[in-house]
Amino acid sequence: MHVELSSKIVILHATYDPYRSYPENMAYSEDDGNIYLLPTFHPYVWVIKKNDFSKKQYIQAASTIRMLAHELGHQTGTLDDGIGQMNNTKKWENPIIIGIEGYVRIKYKPYKLY
């Protein structure tokens, strides 16, 4: 699959890198335009529902679309930095995903079930 971001070609590989450590090897982006995303990998993330003024927090398995939105943000040069490591999530992932899923991610670090 090819996606164009400001004349930059991005190649999506539906696999993981066995030479990187888990779980970082399941979804990551390289500066050369390659995104590696294992479609069966769905870490749990903290989210809130759009327009839910109670701000009730949920734990949700990250969809492949959510993870792709996040990795596409990295292709623009946006990092997981800033307050709570949320810059890329706030700038790219949430705006792309809110219309699709209706939930916004509120914490960068995944929820650990163990």
Contact 7, 47 (CB under 8 A): no
What is the rounded average pLDDT of the residues 23-38? 84
- Predicted pLDDT at 64: 93
Cα separation, 46 vs 27, whole angstroms: 18
Tokens found for residue 3: 């996606």
Q: Are 68 and 82 in contact (CB under 8 A)?
A: no
End-to-end CA distance of the chain: give it in Å, rounded: 34
Tokens 């930059």 correspond to: 8
Mean pLDDT of the residues in the chain: 86
Name the nearest CA neighbour of 26 among 59, 60, 70: 70
The Cα angle at residue 109 between residues 51 and 57, in degrees rounded to 5: 30
Per-residue pLDDT at 6:
55
Q: How far apart are CA 35 and CA 14, in angstroms?
A: 9
**Between residues 65 and 108, the one the model is more confident about:** 65
Greater pLDDT, 44 or 112: 44
Please state the rounded mean pLDDT for residues 22-44.
85
